[in-house]
Amino acid sequence: MPKIGIVTDSGSDISQEAAKALGVRIVPLVVTFGSETFADGELDSEAFWAKTAVVHPQSSQPSVGAFEEAYAAIIAEGAEVLCVTITGKLSGTYNSALAAAQRFGDQVTVVDSLSLSWGQRFQVEAALQAAREGKTRDEIVALLQDVRDRTHFYIILDTIENLKKGGRASKLIAVVEKVVRFFNIKPILLVKEGELGLLGTANSFARGLLRIQKETLAHSPFERLASLYTRDAEPAAKFAQDLAEKIGWKPEDIPLQEIGVAVSVHGGAGAVAVAVLAASKGGA
């Protein structure tokens, strides 16, 4: 049985360094500031936010050729390919990955994670583990459906301006803008079936985080959690610490990570998110 190589995109927030350790190939999304274009990961956080203060960035999917190159490298090693992408309902990345797969016939399978950041990463790491265990692509695809069903993603934004400018969630913006236009309230969003939806609002950021904590705890017991942020780590760190105390975990059991620039383009500075992987019914 051929071995299986895993490909994903930078929307998973797996750094190139982490990718090497995990054994996954990362195809970077693209971030553009006016006439300047960068592959996701080329700019560190400080440089990204400095540029954002001058020009609002746009993100775009990787080229078909970038995926073809990743697939070809794995196939040249005698392996099959399984590619897990950021949600196709918020990015054209899935379509690029799918188009690239056509060149390789049945040697490549592409899966839409219907999530992003660590919600996507949970599926990537599950695929890697299953591939190491010798599971087939069909078995891994079925496994990823289960992981997807157990994954929840919540985010509170400090501002909706970046989301408006990005143009990736026009239906959501139409709803949220009516609510926040005249009041200084914070929108709390969730990822549902691959799309951003409005979970609720809060009249302060702190109360919004409490709402997210409540929603998170409703999915207990957990297999994995991650606390995420854009630019300012402090609120996410406190959120993780408080959540860990509530569930009897050590704070270090909940990874704390800055969301990558391809997603930060739309979330703006000051956002906090949590990615939740509920335990399977047979697990704890």
Statement: residue 167 has pLDDT above 60: no
Do residues 178 and 135 both lie within one domain?
no
Instruction: Tell me the mean pLDDT in the region 166-190.
Output: 69
What's the pLDDT score for residue 130?
A: 98
**In the structure encoding, which two tokens stand for residue 212, read together?**
């997210």
What's the pLDDT score for residue 199?
A: 93
pLDDT digits (tens, 9 = 90+) for 180-231: 665 678 889 999 999 998 898 898 999 999 999 999 999 999 999 999 999 9
What's the pLDDT score for residue 171?
A: 64
Do residues 126 and 43 both lie within one domain?
yes
8 A C-beta contact, residue 71 and residue 63: no
What's the pLDDT score for residue 262?
A: 76
Q: Among 104, 119, 149, where does a domain finish?
A: 149
Q: Token match 């899966």: residue?
A: 111
Do residues 125 and 14 both lie within one domain?
yes
Parent domain of 102: 4-149
Total tally of structural domains belonging to the chain: 2
User: Can you give the pTM of this predicted structure?
Assistant: 0.93
In a domain, 270, yes or no: yes
Interior angle at CA 21, CA 129 and CA 17, nearest 5? 135
Phi, psi values for residue 230, rounded to 5°: -120, 120
Do residues 204 and 226 both lie within one domain?
yes
The alpha-carbon radius of gyration of the chain (Å, integer) is 19
pLDDT digits (tens, 9 = 90+) for 124-133: 999 999 999 9
pLDDT digits (tens, 9 = 90+) for 54-74: 998 999 999 999 999 999 999
In a domain, 284, yes or no: no
Do residues 133 and 168 both lie within one domain?
no
What's the pLDDT score for residue 175?
A: 62
Name the pLDDT band for 158 (thresholds 50, 70, 90). Answer: confident
8 A C-beta contact, residue 71 and residue 81: yes
Do residues 82 and 168 both lie within one domain?
no
CATH of the domain at 81: 3.40.50.10170
Q: What mean pLDDT is reported for the chain?
A: 92
The residues near 236 (Cβ < 8 Å, ≥ 6 apart) are 227, 228, 229, 256, 272, 273
The rounded distance, in Å, linking the Cα atoms of 47 and 197 is: 30
